[in-house]
A = this chain, B = another copy of it.
């Protein structure tokens, strides 16, 4: 049997499909707490994490990304999160890697370790302390022989550069992906410039994940591509957007929307949105195409089905999904059978069933970012009085 192809070769030769979102999916399934969003489920409920990996693999994901989001020591201990009392960064990252590896080997999947922005940076504690947090994770990834590293969910290009600096030392391929939109990072750096700086810092693949819906994200990617082209930089690109519609999110994305995180349901994308996303992403030239929060297996499958020709195959999960609603031909009701067809679903404008709700929301836009005192983190739980003060501020 030939050795597994690596990330860069796969990107050069074709398309790599990423996985979907873990924190939102596992929050709904009961294994992750919204608020801290830390991934101790890899130790507490490995069967749940393993199952989710399997769903993505079956749906067509080529990458099993270890569930190490926010698994830095400073985050495990932030604002009353008790995970740090039971688990260490090392323990969590190690368990995550082993689960991802196990499922990756059930198919032809690559396995990646991921790191993301830190409370240390947000609190303004400086480069050395911030990079120490990253190094702790990367050490575990290297020990676990991950196929590549992914630095994602960074709001500030500065912190991202620090992360990439740590990652490249490992000698592994490095993917760098910021949670920004077309308006750029939180310090006012444009999306294009962010792309250029990630590439110059040494990332082999650059792009955007989370915070915005597929189409807003692709608007940002178009700007990034233009800047990369103008700078003459040849790197691959990645997009891993939300599966929530966010035409109304401001600069900071869905976190600013009043529906975040417990009222986002009406914004969930359909599989047909993902067909369109996959096609547009491919046409822009993006070759690492996946998803982030809200992206479930069926969204990934839609990406894989849209790119069937480019990839030369369908995912296993398509056994249970005839393309373009073909399965409806087997429905008992004749008017549902009449919906079996591409034209019907490509043009549907789905209703919300919520006539007392508006279509768009005004985002919060506090305008505070790294460096602002409101963003200093701490280990103690926020008190009720502090919450009241914040609510007052909101008004």
Give A contacts to B, CB under 8 Å. Answer: 27-36, 47-48, 51, 54-55, 58-59, 78-81, 119, 122, 213, 244-248, 255-272, 296-298, 301, 316-317, 319-322, 325-341, 345, 348-362, 364, 366, 368, 374-375, 377, 381-382, 386-387, 390-391, 393-394
**Which residues from B are CB-within-8-Å of A351?**
248, 257-259, 266-267, 357-361
Taking the closest CB of chain B, its distance from the CB of A179, in whole angstroms, is 12
Instruction: Indicate which residue in B31, B255, B320, B326 contacts A336 across the interface (CB closer than 8 Å).
Output: B255
The answer for the CA separation of A31 and B271 in the assembled complex, in Å, is: 16
The 3 closest A-B pairs by CB, nearest first: A245-B353, A35-B327, A30-B317
CA distance A346 to B362 in the complex (A): 16
A51 partner, pick from B28, B51, B248, B322, beta carbons under 8 A: B51
Distance (whole angstroms) from the CB of A313 to the closest CB of chain B? 15
Q: Does the CB pair B382–A330 fall under 8 Å?
A: yes
- For the complex, give the distance between the alpha carbons of A337 and B375 in Å: 11
Chain B residues with CB under 8 Å of A326's CB are: 35
- Chain B min CB distance to A349 (Å): 4
Question: Is A352 touching B320 in the complex (CB atoms < 8 A)?
Answer: no
Bound complex: CA of A257 vs CA of B355, how far in Å? 15
> Of B244, B264, B328, B354, which is within 8 A of A359 by CB?
B354
Q: How far is the CB of A395 from chain B (nearest CB, A)?
A: 9
Nearest-neighbour CB distance to chain B for A109, whole angstroms, equals 15
5 inter-chain pairs at a CB distance below 8 angstroms, sorted by A residue, are: A33-B320, A33-B327, A80-B329, A260-B339, A337-B386
Each complex incorporates copies of this chain amounting to: 4
Could you tell me the distance in whole angstroms from the C-beta of A370 to the nearest C-beta in chain B? Answer: 11
CB distance from A224 to the nearest CB of B (A): 23
Q: How far apart are the CA atoms of A127 and B247 in the complex, in Å?
A: 44
List of B residues within 8 angstroms of A354 by Cβ: 245, 266-267, 349-350, 352, 359
Identify which of B30, B327, B338, B340 contacts A298 (C-beta below 8 A): B30
Which chain B residues border A245 with CB–CB below 8 Å? 352-354
Inside 8 A of A270's CB, which chain B residues have their CB? 262-263, 265
Complex CA gap A359/B31 in Å reads 33
> Quick one: closest B residue to A244, CB to CB?
B353
- Cβ contacts under 8 Å, A366 to chain B: 334-335
Task: Indicate if the CB atoms of A297 and B28 lie closer than 8 Å.
Answer: yes
Residues of B within 8 A of A51 (CB): 47-48, 51
Do A78 and B266 have beta carbons less than 8 Å apart? no
Asked, given contacts A297-B28, A334-B375, A387-B329, whether A213 binds B353 with beta carbons under 8 Å apart, the answer is yes
Q: Which residues of B contact A327 (CB under 8 A)?
A: 33-36
Q: Note all chain B residues with C-beta closer than 8 A to A256.
A: 335
Contacts A247-B355, A350-B264 given; indicate if A35 touches B79 (C-beta within 8 A).
no
When C-beta atoms are compared, the residue in chain B nearest to A327 turns out to be: B35
